[in-house]
Amino acid sequence: MIPQITVLDAGGQYCHLIARKVRDLGVYAEVAASDTPASQLAGRRGVIISGGPSSVYDPASPTIDPALLRAGIPVLGICYGQQLMAHLLGGRVEKGERGEYGFAQFDPVASGSLLRGVSGKQQVWMSHRDTVVAAPEGFEVLGSTATCTVAAIASPERGLYAVQFHPEVVHTECGPQILSNFVREICGCTQDWDPAGQLQSLEDQIRHAAAGRNVFFFVSGGVDSTVAYTLCLKALGKDRVHGTYVDTGLMREGETEFVRANFPSLIIEDAREQFLNALEGLAAPEAKRNAIGEEFVRVQQRILESEHYLNGDWVLGQGTIYPDTIESGGTAKADLIKTHHNRVAGIQKLIDEGRIVEPLASFYKDEVRAVGRQLGLPEALLERHPFPGPGLAIRCLCAEEGGVAERLGDGWKLPVRSVGVQGDSRTYRSALAITEFPASDDDTASLINRMDSINRIVVAVWTAEEIGKMQSVPSTLTAERLERLRHADGIVRRLTLESGFDNDVWQFPVVLIPFGTPGRPDSVVLRPIYSVDGMTASVVRMPAELMAKTVHELRAHTDIAGVFYDITNKPPGTIEWE
- In the complex, the residues that contact ligand XMP under the rule CB under 6 A are 327, 338, 340-341, 386, 388-390, 507, 534, 570, 574-576
Taken in order 136, 138, 143, 149, the sign of the CA dihedral is positive
**Rounded distance, CA 163 to CA 152, Å?**
4
CB of 386 to ligand XMP, least distance (A): 4
Task: State in angstroms the smallest separation of the CB of 327 from ligand XMP.
Answer: 6
How would you classify the pairing of strands 523-526 and 562-566?
Answer: parallel
State which residue, 51 or 74, has the beta carbon closest to ligand XMP: 51
118 touches 174 (CB < 8 A): yes
Q: Nearest distance from residue 168's CB to ligand XMP, in Å?
A: 16
User: Rounded to whole angstroms, what are the CA distances from 523 to 204, 488, 512, 526?
Assistant: 49, 10, 6, 10
Collapsed DSSP state (helix, strand, coil) of residue 467: helix
CA distance 352 to 331: 16
Contacts of 264 (CB under 8 A, 6+ apart): none
Kindly give, in sequence order, each residue whose CB lies less than 8 Å from that of residue 556, ignoring residues fewer than 6 positions away. Answer: none
544, HSE (Cβ side, Cα atoms, 13 Å): 1
Measure Cα distances from 444 to 228, 241, 483, 508 in Å: 38, 49, 32, 19
CB-wise, 131 or 574, nearer to ligand XMP?
Answer: 574
Q: How far is the CB of 39 from ligand XMP (least distance, A)?
A: 37
CA distance 551 to 495: 11
Q: How far apart are the first and last CA of the chain?
A: 39
**27 or 356: whose CB is closer to ligand XMP?**
356
Is 201:231 a contact under the CB 8 Å cutoff? no
Q: Is the separation of the CB atoms in 491 and 549 below 8 Å?
A: no
CA distance to 40, 128, 410, 419, 478, per residue, from 432 (Å): 49, 22, 9, 13, 26
Task: Please report how close the Cβ of residue 389 comes to ligand XMP at its closest, in angstroms.
Answer: 4
CB 535 within 8 A of CB 323: yes
Between 128 and 570, name the residue whose CB sits nearer to ligand XMP: 570
Nearer to ligand XMP, 115 or 169 (CB): 169
Question: How far apart are CB 395 and ligand XMP at their closest, in Å?
Answer: 9
Catalytic residues: 79, 166, 168
**138 Cβ partners below 8 Å, 6+ apart?**
155, 157, 158
Smallest gap from Cβ 540 to ligand XMP, in A, equals 14
Q: Which is nearer to ligand XMP, 390 or 423 (CB)?
A: 390
Strands (E), 230-383: 241-247, 267-270, 314-317, 356-357
Q: Is the CB of 100 or the CB of 533 nearer to ligand XMP?
A: 533
Nearest-approach distance from CB 249 to ligand XMP, in angstroms: 16
Nearer to ligand XMP, 249 or 388 (CB): 388
Query: Using CA atoms, how far apart are residues 237 and 232, in angstroms rounded to an integer?
Result: 8
